[in-house]
Amino acid sequence: MMKTYLPFFNLLIILLISCSTPPEYPNFQENTSQLRDAKMKPFYHGVASGDPWPESVILWTRVTPETELPSIEVSWEIASDENFADIKGSGTFATNGDRDYTVKVEATGLQPGTTYFYRFNALEAISPVGTTKTAATDVGRLQFAAVSCSNYEWGYFNAYAALANESTLDAVVHLGDYIYEYGPGRYGDTSIGRVNIPDREIISLQDYRDRYALYRLDEDLQAAHAAHPFINIWDDHEIANNSYVDGAQNHQEDEGSYEERKAVARQVYYEWIPIRESGEHYRKFSYGNLADLIMLDERLAGRTKPADSLQDPTLQSPTHTILGVGQFDWLKANLTTSEAKWKLIGNQVIYSYLNWGRATFSINLDSWDGYPLEQQALADVITENNIENVVFLTGDTHSSWAFEVTNKPFDNYNPETAEGAFAVEFGATSINSANSDEHTPADSVILHEDKITNSPINPHLKYSNLRDHGYLLITVSEEAVKAEYKFVETLSEKNPSISIGKTLLVNSGEVKLREPEE
């Protein structure tokens, strides 16, 4: 009997062994692997949250496998306490190489205006714990940090480190240029050893993924994401410099199809940023009756090619737009129907007229000044509908600004009383991207600031700082919106020290910028 059945028994053993042996997969290789912190395996890129609504928030992480696994099951949980004794939500998510092993889930069923803690579990490891906060619906005070323009090669992300230490933020409003697309040394200072990966301008799918992976391995950016929910919008460098719907200044014919590059950039942005992916990129966040935060897309939704010069007839064409018809109508509807006291507009490029006061550069045609008909149309919406308490929060320029918003000519504007202005605009400096004093001595930059501020060419410009890096802390109350310009000490070494360089506020019902009373 044994001789009769032994071959079948051996076959059964072989089958059982073959079924229990896991298949072999090729190693998962990444250009940024040498920068990983082994202690964080496999959650090398930390955790993040974003797009807070009153009852839900987006949670993000990335699981980096050792081999190219076809699928990784990731569990997540969110709790009211950092010990996770009171779980408020949990679930699983399957990620794979098609989405660069990123994980993005929506935690629902939450309470408004509430702080939560979240974490992930995968490949027999637990992620760092992140802190997030839902949007409040009954609130008398809000606080946002407005940030923009973080360039890996220009120095350490000390402003992100300082942001992580802000204890009372409702959200970080990132106004764009989260990454830069250039190759090493093209637009940066590699002397401190921070060098772009890959070693070329990013164009392909893998290029963009490598660049985001590089940024998200930075411990200070990780700390900021882990501490607060982000509300992100892209500007141009997430695609290519001075990008618009049909092209970009920094996209050339020998770099392939712009449409393909734009699609790749959009895909990777959504893979790596904790943002909802349904509908248009422009969107609104409501914080009860206190504030609406309206985030605009001034690049890919409807922007046409910038004019070549002030003499270009394109400037006066009704089809020359920065928002596009659909987005402009959406913005108009949200402004005219808002029941919130404050209307905050997340705005990539400067809305206010600005004369830069330089012989070789006076008007920036990549800003709203390069789209004067739509710039005026938005002014008409605000003034003709008597919309009060409009505050633009702006990035892009690597400089700090404060405007009483009015367009040229200034005939109807009184710089002493602000009569004739219809909004205010606070411009946030860069996290670390170069500004004027990287190229010009600081004392000369200060003289230029004096030349263009409260001057005949810019009577509505009440503050400028073209030298310092950091972020803008915005505090919203029933009575006023206060802007604190917070600056880091250095970019050349890790130092999270932060100081307030200037504080301004606007009272409800006014458009005059004031310094707070002592």
Please choose, from the candidates 406, 446, 404, 445, the residue with its C-alpha nearest in 3D space to the C-alpha of residue 427. Answer: 404
The beta-strand segments (E) located in 429-469 are: 461-465
Of 437 and 492, the structure prediction assigns the larger pLDDT to 492
122 and 230 assigned to the same domain? no
297 and 396 assigned to the same domain? yes
- Residue 124's domain comprises 33-133
In a domain, 21, yes or no: no
* Mean pLDDT along residues 417-432: 98
Residue 516 and residue 502 in contact, taking contact as beta carbons nearer than 8 Å: no
118 and 229 assigned to the same domain? no
pTM: 0.94
220 and 71 assigned to the same domain? no
Structure tokens at 284: 């609104």
In a domain, 487, yes or no: yes
pLDDT for 348: 97
373-418 pLDDT per residue, tens: 999 999 999 999 999 999 999 999 999 999 999 988 888 999 999 9
pLDDT for 99: 98
143-169 pLDDT per residue, tens: 999 999 999 999 999 999 999 999 999
Q: How far apart are CA 394 and CA 213, in angstroms?
A: 26
380 and 402 assigned to the same domain? yes
Instruction: Write down which residue in 90, 112, 133 finishes a domain.
Output: 133
Query: How does 104-139 read in b/e, with b if 16+ C-beta sit within 10 Å?
Result: bbebeebebbbebbbbbbbeeeebeebbbbbbbbeb
Instruction: Write down which residue in 106, 133, 160 finishes a domain.
Output: 133
Task: Find the CATH number of the domain harbouring 97.
Answer: 2.60.40.380
Place of tokens 């760092």: 128
Residue 219 and residue 281 in contact, taking contact as beta carbons nearer than 8 Å: no
200 and 341 assigned to the same domain? yes
74 and 180 assigned to the same domain? no
Structure tokens at 238: 């997430």
117 and 161 assigned to the same domain? no
Mean pLDDT over the full length of the chain: 94
473 and 380 assigned to the same domain? yes
In the chain, DSSP finds a helix count (H) and a strand count (E) of 8, 24
208 and 263 assigned to the same domain? yes
Give me the residues paired with residue 118 across strands: 78, 130
In a domain, 467, yes or no: yes
367 and 480 assigned to the same domain? yes
State the total domains in the chain: 2
Instruction: Write down which residue in 115, 133, 151 finishes a domain.
Output: 133
353 and 383 assigned to the same domain? yes
